[in-house]
Homo-oligomer: A and B are copies of this chain.
Amino acid sequence: MSWNTDDVNRTLEAGAPALYAALSPLGRRLFYPPDIPAQAQEAKGRSFNGTIGIFTDGAGGAVPLPSMAAALTLDGDDRNRAFLYSPVPGIREVRERWRGWQRRGVAASVPSTLPVVTAGLTHGLSMVADLFGGEGRTVAVPAPFWGNYRQTFALRTGAAVSTAPAYRDGHFHPGAVAEALSAAPEGEPAVAMVNFPSNPGGYAPTRGERDELRRTLLEVADRRPLVVVCDDAYAGLVYDPEVPRESMFWELAGAHERLVPVKVDGATKEFSFFGGRVGFLTFGVDLGEEAAAALENKLSSLVRSTLGSPVALGQTILLQALRSGKAEAEIREVFEIAERRYRAVRPALDDLDRDLLRPLPFNAGFFVLLEIPEKLGLDPQRVRRHLLDHHDTGIVAIAPRYLRIATCSVAADALPELVRRVERGVRELAGLTR
């Protein structure tokens, strides 16, 4: 097909009007021209193919340096895939198998696009920010939140982050997104972040809380086009058996014509593959063939102009797990380590002196979040530094009064002592023992 930018925009507007309405100025400009990768795609299988700037043996095979090839056990097609360029939207087999992985247990009637490969989840978020951010756009984020949301959306694109408390009286507050958008200009498109299990507070909402959250999001969508970004980094890591493990994405996909669910997920945490940089971007709208191609054109334009192509090496390694039939069992083993840590830290949290530290709800994910009571007037950075200097202990400080403990990187038997040291440090600074 030989589209231009206008064709792509018109097709998207017809097939996905809310998505189109929410595009940023950059989002409207994005267009993947019929240049080298597209021309190389068309030349595939020709006897004489001098299209793509990739060094091969002349028959499509990679020519890796022996010292680097020795680091991989892969051979044949997979070795070639690992060392050569990935297609711009990702290796087809990886995209299809990931879609299958995502949709385990999801009804066939729920719409979702073929995922586009990103260089990890932050890259997926930055693509969403490029597509839907920009000056004057409101991004609703329940607080406390992962600080990189601010950098990805506000610092880079100029969007305005609007927050509301994620917890009220020590409980999850499902109305936070709607509250954060209450001052946004009537009818204007907006973006909302939904992150379960969450970071920095390791929480996944109950059935009732999810239903309430869904209701408030649909209500917002009655009044404005709403892009809901489901940051599913910690997918599946829920320790309370009563609490749903599936992504909220599947409850939002196809639920409202002005709600555009976007799923940001990937191998980083779910497949314990931090260094590989393989993420995915999936849209929960039934686009039809034409509009899906138009959206993929825009996403490809973004990948091409920021990365060239995604990480073939990481995709090829991930493929080994997706093909093995063992991914679920292997992930279960990692989950069990995480769950043992949860069981180990739980009693230590229950024993905390509430006048010094108040744990926020914790039933999932990688992190315990502790609130320093406001009346202590303690800067969490001061607590962090005190713990580094006097208690041989590192934790993360989050303004205005939170401490985050990453249970994901601490052995189960060390966690109770770590929590005690944090409490001791706060007690010392609060002057309660002096």
Contact = CB atoms under 8 A, between A and B. Distances in A.
Interface of A: 26, 29-31, 33, 35-36, 39-40, 42-44, 46-60, 62-68, 70-74, 81-86, 119-123, 126, 130, 147-148, 151-152, 155-156, 199, 269, 271-277, 301, 304-314, 316-318, 320-321, 324, 326-327, 330-331, 334, 337-338, 366-367, 384, 388, 391-397, 404-412, 414-415, 417-418, 421
B305 A58 contact: no
B56 A316 contact: no
B388 A42 contact: yes
A409 B56 contact: yes
Contact of A126 (B66, B73, B269, B306): B306
A392 B311 contact: no
Contacts of A411: 57-59
Contact of A40 (B31, B126, B337, B394): B394
A13 B26 CA distance: 30
A301 to B, nearest CB: 7
A367 B408 CA distance: 49
Given A53-B409, A55-B408, 4 more contacts: A39-B394, A48-B417, A67-B326, A126-B307
Contact of A71 (B35, B72, B130, B330): B72
Nearest to A43: B394
B48 A414 contact: yes
A54 B409 contact: yes
B39 A273 contact: no
The CB with the most chain B CB atoms within 10 A, among A331, A384, A406, A412, is that of: A406
Closest 9 CB pairs of A and B: A43-B394, A58-B411, A275-B312, A122-B308, A151-B305, A67-B324, A48-B393, A50-B405, A65-B330
Contacts of A60: 409
Given A47-B392, A395-B51, A156 B26 contact: yes
A43 B310 CA distance: 32
B46 A305 contact: no
Contacts of A334: 55, 63, 65
Given A151-B33, A308-B120, A314-B311, A53 B406 contact: yes
A63 to B, nearest CB: 5
B71 A74 contact: yes
A321 B70 CA distance: 10
Given A57-B411, A71-B72, A313-B313, A35 B147 contact: yes
Contacts of A119: 119, 277, 307, 311
Contacts of A320: 67-68, 70-71
Given A155-B30, A409-B58, A277 B53 contact: no
A406 B64 contact: no
A321 to B, nearest CB: 4
